[in-house]
Chains A and B, each alone.
Chain A
């Protein structure tokens, strides 16, 4: 038994070395078939985070000469290392997209060190100089789209009370909540955004209860940051509240209640990455962008969005797209405990790494991070 296993592994390693050599030679032109591996933490069609990535993978499948292999529901443990190894050794993958936050360190970093000739692109991680050069982390400033959602929500809300169903108080989530709340205040300076943390990424019953509690408190426009927004969108629409979507366009679920939404645009980014590799260019290890770089987008406005709201939202969107850009987190920002978190005069632009360490909720948000 033992002997059989060792020899099988050696066989695989030999095979991998051969594939690797072949792939390295063929990479620039896709003359031979190139295999790309996608790893998802949840279900590929969850109407949310994983579906957005799967749509990006689907865009790659259309390019001739590319083969895409996918595995879903891979936990953020050493299970992902096994998945990566089998994608490399058995399927011959030369570019890997482990798409969940917790895959990055130590799992993906370890694999990138082990397979130095292959490319690893991780979504959400913070690549630093200490990490391997063949690994990269990309992410989108989806808070720009949340800011637009906030503006639309602020104009649409009659009670001035907005609701946010969030999973966990980590920087990316807090940044979305804050951007949404600041956008809403642009439209209605008295607007408040009430946040409820459910404690995990996919808790449908808790999300439904959170939605109902918020509406009971007088909230009439809701959005969320959980893996699958379907539960929030459907339950809020049933209670007669308006919603802004997240991850992908959820308007088919609630056509009348859907205002707009913050969406990923991976189907634009992933083909761009592949073309860069084919042309022999190197992808920057730390890759970020927002609306302008086409990494995020907003859903088309729903029928309930007023002309005034559309105009204001479009104006701000145009500023994001302009060469100068637009800072959501401007100097003199105060958190909801009254502490100044960004000193007056120092605007934090979107690329400021300080923003990726956010640990506060801004003034106008009802809730706490712990």
Chain B
């Protein structure tokens, strides 16, 4: 211990740290997508929203010196992209999945184009709260340096769970997602509900992107997302459209992403490609275990284009 090493304890610690550090973007995107999909629409464009959010947050933080303003700007950017998706999908005979793919390419392309001058400068980052003050193990303290956005995300999951069940807004979103005829019969505009749900979803995804560029890994470059947005959209299906399950799934994905590097650092070097693929193997395994030929996906909103 004299040399500051903690040996094999690195692995569980890295998985814990990874769950906290890596999971936040997954959490925000999947909660946002959860709201959108519950209203009966799939927005695959959140990968583009995530990257646009990361870029705009970094840009605004660099220009104004305030990372929190950057987070806000990322949210607004995301909401605008969400509005664009919902607006196009409001037109008759438009497929939401096709629009989503188009917006994914549009968002990443636009972010790369506008983000060119932002690769070199260093923008102010979001602060971390030191939750490991009680420990004198530096590794543990590092793992417990938590950004407040993670805490907001963790709090948001049960709030959404509650809101879907007991609030009027939650009921309306669910009605639009389960039966658009019922929502129309009640006198509500399904398109307006979906527009708002997609904008809120985009807002959260944009904020998820700001975490990538302003906290961890903490800078803007073009490989930043490497598919995390699209993974998070898949997480929602995996979590059965349940915000609480989205939280656990995001934590599991974050922890699994840390597993590969951590195992290599303690000397488990064989098959690191396999460990790097751990999150995807986990998804496949759970999908296979929980699928059934006798029924459709439990919890799937009936109006989704994939279940309809």
A55 to chain B, nearest CB (A): 12
Given contacts A205-B226, A216-B14, contact A196 B119 (CB under 8 A): no
Cβ of A134 within 8 Å of any chain B Cβ, yes or no, is no
Q: A216: which of B139, B218, B223 is its contact (CB, 8 Å)?
A: B139
Cβ of B264 within 8 Å of any chain A Cβ, yes or no, is yes
Cβ of A228 within 8 Å of any chain B Cβ, yes or no, is yes
> B257 to A209, Cβ gap below 8 A?
yes
Residue of A nearest to B121 (CB): A252
Complex interface: chain A residues within 8 A of B269 (CB): 367-368, 370
Of A100-108, A111-119, A229-237, A348-356, the stretch lying at the interface with chain B is A229-237
CA distance A194 to B265 in the complex (A): 7
A95 to chain B, nearest CB (A): 26
Residue of A nearest to B11 (CB): A213
> B272 to A231, Cβ gap below 8 A?
no
Q: A199: which of B224, B266, B273 is its contact (CB, 8 Å)?
A: B273
Pick the most buried of B112, B223, B269, B276: most chain A CB atoms within 10 A of its CB. Answer: B223
> B265 to A208, Cβ gap below 8 A?
no
CA distance A212 to B264 in the complex (A): 12
B214 to chain A, nearest CB (A): 12
Q: A213: which of B10, B122, B219 is its contact (CB, 8 Å)?
A: B10
Cβ of A203 within 8 Å of any chain B Cβ, yes or no, is yes
Cβ of B197 within 8 Å of any chain A Cβ, yes or no, is no
CA distance A235 to B22 in the complex (A): 14
Contact pattern, B 254-271, Cβ under 8 Å of A = 1, otherwise 0: 000110111011110110
CA distance A82 to B59 in the complex (A): 34
Residue of B nearest to A370 (CB): B270
Cβ of B120 within 8 Å of any chain A Cβ, yes or no, is yes
**How many of chain A's residues have a CB under 8 angstroms from any CB in B?**
45
Complex interface: chain A residues within 8 A of B217 (CB): 204-205, 207-208, 231, 234-235
Q: B222: which of A46, A160, A194 is its contact (CB, 8 Å)?
A: A46
B20 to chain A, nearest CB (A): 11
Q: B5: which of A197, A205, A217, A252 is its contact (CB, 8 Å)?
A: A217
Residue of A nearest to B262 (CB): A213
Pick the most buried of A47, A213, A227, A366: most chain B CB atoms within 10 A of its CB. Answer: A213
Residue of A nearest to B6 (CB): A216
Contact pattern, A 333-370, Cβ under 8 Å of B = 1, otherwise 0: 00000000000000000000000000000000011101
> B119 to A45, Cβ gap below 8 A?
yes
> A209 to B221, Cβ gap below 8 A?
no
> B142 to A209, Cβ gap below 8 A?
no
Cβ of A26 within 8 Å of any chain B Cβ, yes or no, is no
Given contacts A46-B221, A194-B265, contact A216 B260 (CB under 8 A): no
> B226 to A204, Cβ gap below 8 A?
yes
> B3 to A213, Cβ gap below 8 A?
no
> A215 to B119, Cβ gap below 8 A?
no
Q: A366: which of B3, B224, B267 is its contact (CB, 8 Å)?
A: B267
Given contacts A45-B120, A197-B272, contact A204 B262 (CB under 8 A): no
> A205 to B10, Cβ gap below 8 A?
no
Q: Between A and B, how many residue pairs show CB distances below 8 Å?
A: 134
CA distance A206 to B273 in the complex (A): 12
Binding site secondary structure of chain A:
mixed
A228 to chain B, nearest CB (A): 6
> A199 to B265, Cβ gap below 8 A?
no
Residue of B nearest to A219 (CB): B265
Cβ of A43 within 8 Å of any chain B Cβ, yes or no, is yes
> B270 to A206, Cβ gap below 8 A?
no
Within 8 A of A (CB), among B2-21: 3-6, 10, 13-14, 17-18, 21
B53 to chain A, nearest CB (A): 15
> A43 to B222, Cβ gap below 8 A?
yes
CA distance A159 to B6 in the complex (A): 13
B139 to chain A, nearest CB (A): 4
Cβ of B147 within 8 Å of any chain A Cβ, yes or no, is no
> A239 to B222, Cβ gap below 8 A?
no
Residue of A nearest to B17 (CB): A212
Within 8 A of B (CB), among A209-226: 209-210, 212-218
> A204 to B221, Cβ gap below 8 A?
yes
B228 to chain A, nearest CB (A): 7
> B264 to A197, Cβ gap below 8 A?
yes
> B142 to A239, Cβ gap below 8 A?
yes
> B10 to A216, Cβ gap below 8 A?
yes
B246 to chain A, nearest CB (A): 19
CA distance A161 to B266 in the complex (A): 13
Cβ of A253 within 8 Å of any chain B Cβ, yes or no, is yes
Cβ of A188 within 8 Å of any chain B Cβ, yes or no, is no
Cβ of A37 within 8 Å of any chain B Cβ, yes or no, is no
Pick the most buried of B22, B262, B265: most chain A CB atoms within 10 A of its CB. Answer: B265
Cβ of B165 within 8 Å of any chain A Cβ, yes or no, is no
Cβ of A19 within 8 Å of any chain B Cβ, yes or no, is no
CA distance A43 to B111 in the complex (A): 13
Cβ of A83 within 8 Å of any chain B Cβ, yes or no, is no
A-B contact pairs, 25 of them (CB 8 A): A43-B112, A195-B264, A196-B261, A197-B264, A197-B272, A199-B260, A199-B272, A205-B257, A209-B14, A209-B21, A214-B265, A215-B139, A216-B13, A216-B142, A216-B265, A218-B5, A228-B223, A230-B219, A230-B221, A234-B122, A234-B218, A235-B217, A235-B218, A366-B267, A368-B269
Q: Pick the 8 closest A-B CB pairs, nearest first.
A: A368-B269, A202-B223, A218-B5, A213-B265, A208-B217, A210-B261, A216-B139, A218-B4
